[in-house]
Structure formats: C-alpha cells, structure tokens
C-alpha cells in the first residue's frame, strides 16, 4: 500500500515537461493518491493526467477566479482535497537597480498575490470538507536562507510566501490544516536548463553542498510526499531538502564568474 493510498492531491505548476511539479505528481500517484495536475498548457497537462490516471485543469495562479475555480473543480471531481501543492515560480535574475516596475509587478502577481490566491482557495476548500484538514505546500527557495546576488525581487517575494504559510499554519491548524514550504536549491529543471548548460556553473555550486551533490527534483518530491503523509506532525516550517546548502551558502557573483571563466578557458585550450 502506498503512503498516500486513498488521498487526493492538487499540483499546480505541472505544465512543463519533467519539471518539479510533474515529478511530484508522478510520485504522489505512485504512492496511491488521486492527483489533479494544473497549469497553463492543456495538452501537456492532459498527457500527464492520462499517464498517472488522474485529472487535469487549466489554471493561471495570477488569476483569483481561476485559482478558486481550480479548488472547486478539484473538490467536485475528487470528493475532497487532502493535499495542495504550489510549484509555480519565476527565477528572475536581475540587479536591484535594473529591475523594472513591470518585472516587479509580474513577480508580485506570481509569487505574492498568486500564492495568496492559492492559500485562500485551498484553505477554504479544506475548511469546508468533512472531515476538515489537509496539507498545503508552496515551494520556496534555498535563497531565502542562502542569499545570492541579483535576486532581490525573487527572494523578497519568496520570503513573503514563507510568511503567509506561517500565518495559515497558525490560524487554521485547529482545523487539521498543515501548511509548510519546501525549498529547492539549484535544481536541474526546464526553468534552469540554460544555466545548467553554462560551462563551469555547476562547478561553482557543487562545493557548497555538504552531501556532495546538487539536489534533484526527486529530492523535492520526496520532501513534499512526507509532509503530506499522516506521519508528518509538522506545520509552519520551511523544509530544506537541498543537501545542506544553507550551511555554507550559495556562491556569489565573483565565484560564479571565476568558475565559468576557468571552464571556458579550458574549453578554448582544447
């Protein structure tokens, strides 16, 4: 019997091939959950839902109406929502002095207002079902504890995400609702494909991980899985399944430039 046998889950942000959201959805289905995957690309979602024997729905987290409709649809089609996981995000890398108001608005819409929509919709759903309760997770980032250059808007909105999760945990725990964040570090995914292809970039990050490797999407999915089991008596916390990166901190811009420069020089020699 799987760890989530008989439970239901919604994974928002699963519309890019083999991203973290899809990895989570596949693991949850393997562990027995009925899963609804959601995002902005229907063809990708439909294929994934068919693969895992679940459901799919279109949803843009920046739309209050769409997020609340997602919660309503999930409740109607699956009977209840035992787990709701937000995997959306935008890794904006921009100097504070060069960040535009348009970029800041986009970041706030996605990683502050959008998270608020998500929490509001699924706290409501979990408060009204019988019995009440469930597990809510919003992905944060190791950068809120291990700063990296040129990431102010991203880190600021992710810290706000963590604060809202703490408020949900405090205000709705009496209903059996758990709320936590999970913080990946530099993870290979569709969002970071270009970065991982940069010579020397991984070399700058690798020594920062005491466990000797970068975290994977599977590491993140396993952390989410545990938080959604009945064994996790945990709420209002920020889980760091990133191999101890926060102990040493992320490399800074000068470290990255040196590692990339060395790798490119070596390539030129060959």
Quick one: 217 exposed, middle or buried, by C-beta within 10 A (0-12, 13-18, 19+)? Answer: buried
Distance CA 63, CA 48 (A): 23
Average pLDDT, the chain: 94
Quick one: 103 exposed, middle or buried, by C-beta within 10 A (0-12, 13-18, 19+)? Answer: middle
pLDDT digits (tens, 9 = 90+) for 100-147: 999 999 999 999 999 999 999 999 999 999 999 999 999 999 999 999
pLDDT given at position 141:
96
pTM passes above 0.85: yes
pLDDT digits (tens, 9 = 90+) for 212-270: 999 999 999 999 999 999 999 999 999 999 999 999 999 998 888 887 787 777 777 76
Which residues on neighbouring strands pair with residue 57, listed in sequence order?
Answer: 38
pLDDT given at position 270:
66
* C-beta atoms surrounding 105 within 10 Å: 11
pLDDT given at position 267:
75
């Amino acid at each position: 019997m799987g760890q989530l046998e008989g439970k239901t889950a919604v994974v928002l942000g699963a519309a890019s091939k083999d991203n973290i959201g899809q990895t989570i959805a596949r693991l949850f289905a393997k562990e027995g959950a009925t899963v609804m995957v959601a995002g902005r690309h229907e063809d990708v979602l439909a294929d994934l839902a068919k693969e895992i024997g679940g459901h799919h729905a279109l949803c843009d987290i920046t739309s209050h109406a769409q997020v609340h409709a997602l919660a309503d649809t999930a409740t109607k089609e699956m009977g209840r929502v035992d787990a709701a996981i937000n995997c959306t995000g935008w890794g904006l890398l921009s100097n504070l002095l060069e960040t535009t108001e348009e970029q800041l608005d986009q970041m706030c819409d996605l990683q502050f207002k959008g998270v608020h929509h998500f929490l509001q919709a699924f706290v409501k759903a979990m408060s009204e079902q019988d019995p009440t309760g469930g597990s809510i997770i919003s992905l944060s980032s190791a950068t809120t504890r291990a700063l990296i250059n040129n990431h102010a808007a991203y880190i600021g909105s992710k810290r706000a995400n963590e604060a809202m999760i703490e408020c949900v945990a405090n205000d709705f725990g009496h209903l059996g609702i758990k709320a936590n964040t999970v913080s990946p570090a530099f993870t290979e995914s569709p969002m970071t494909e270009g970065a991982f292809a940069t010579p020397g970039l991984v070399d700058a990050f690798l020594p920062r991980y005491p466990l000797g490797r970068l975290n994977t999407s599977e590491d993140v999915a396993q952390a989410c899985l545990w938080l959604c089991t009945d064994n996790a008596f945990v709420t209002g916390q920020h889980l760091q399944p990133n191999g101890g990166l926060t102990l040493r901190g992320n490399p800074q811009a000068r470290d990255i430039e040196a590692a990339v420069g060395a790798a490119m020089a070596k390539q030129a020699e060959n």
